[in-house]
Structure 1
Amino acid sequence: MICIILAGGKGTRLQSVVTDVPKPLALVQGSPFLDILINNLKNRGIEGFIISVGYKKEIILE
């Protein structure tokens, strides 16, 4: 099964907390949110991911 993750927003509501990275990379207990999400989905049997990026996509792709 493949999952599509929408990760293209600007994160305007999080700007006061996360200023240097896009919101999918916001740290949650020391790990980027996107990593936590992908690992949780892998543990539930998801085998592939399509990550739809937009704002600051270069940072997410790195």
Structure 2
Amino acid sequence: MPTAIVLTPAQAFELLPLASARLEHLKRQQTAADVAGRRENWGVTLWTEIVQALRGDGSERATA
């Protein structure tokens, strides 16, 4: 079962740049692994969902 974390809009706004930076770093790591032919999971999907939730992109939980 997924864990729900409730944040105020101000908290989400403060965390968004940090989460976005983490996502970009993980995307670079995943791309490097893919190019090298290594099967690695850097959690890009999870961090994409986190960033979307912080932005409020289609997530009811993010606005509840």
Q: Is TM (by shorter chain) over 0.5? A: no
Of structures 1 and 2, the one with the larger relative CO (CA 8 A, separation 6+) is: 1
Higher strand share: 1
Q: TM-score w.r.t. structure 1 length?
A: 0.36
Q: Which has the larger radius of gyration?
A: 2
Higher helix share: 2
